[in-house]
Amino acid sequence: MDNTGLLGEYKHTIDAKKRIFLPSDFRPFLGNEVVVSKSTDKCINVYPIPEWKKYEEKINALPSVKAKAIKRWVYAYSKRTEVDAQGRIAIPQNLCDYAELEKNIVSVGAGEYAEIWSEKAYAEMTGALSASDIEEDLIALGF
């Protein structure tokens, strides 16, 4: 496995048991166990365990007053789950409700983690972005 991270966009479905197939390109990077977590966007983040631990370290380094609310928000909507033999993970109902996952979904590589979107929310989000918006953001960040 290389260290490129998670890349690409993949359309698929969620089944009646709230399971999704992880794209085969994602599986070597994600491993056999992941953490699914509520995102600040209208999607779910999927972290390989080492990346989740880095995320937790950042949360634990916050001042305690701020960390309390953030921990409550993050941990209440996070679950450690195994990747089954077919490459699927189960998404808890509270996360499906939050991200409005019904049938058609999109998995997106986001470097160190993946995002799971409802097809509708993903289309709305990407439709609101323009190349010039991204260019401005990159320039502001020094790229």
What is the CATH code of the structural domain delimited by 9-140? Answer: 3.40.1550.20
Cα(94)–Cα(91) distance, integer angstroms = 8
- Per-residue pLDDT of 38-55, as tens digits, reads 999 999 999 999 999 999
The pLDDT, as a whole number, for residue 2 is 54
Cα(58)–Cα(119) distance, integer angstroms = 30
The pLDDT, as a whole number, for residue 3 is 62
DSSP 3-state assignment of 142? coil
Q: Say if residue 125's pLDDT is above 60.
A: yes
Give strand ranges (E) for 1-143.
Answer: 9-13, 19-21, 33-38, 44-48, 78-82, 88-90, 104-109, 114-118
Cα(17)–Cα(132) distance, integer angstroms = 40
Cα(124)–Cα(132) distance, integer angstroms = 17
Q: Say if residue 131's pLDDT is above 80.
A: no
The pLDDT, as a whole number, for residue 14 is 95
**∠ at Cα 13 (129, 41), nearest 5°?**
35
Q: Say if residue 129's pLDDT is above 50.
A: yes
- Per-residue pLDDT of 96-111, as tens digits, reads 999 999 999 999 999 9
**∠ at Cα 123 (121, 128), nearest 5°?**
100
Q: How many CB atoms lie within 10 A of CB 47?
A: 21
Q: Say if residue 1's pLDDT is above 60.
A: no
- Per-residue pLDDT of 54-74, as tens digits, reads 999 998 888 888 788 888 889
Q: How many CB atoms lie within 10 A of CB 11?
A: 12
Q: Over the chain, what is the mean pLDDT?
A: 91
Average pLDDT of the residues in 73-81: 93
Average pLDDT of the residues in 13-35: 94
Q: Where are the domains of the chain?
A: 9-140
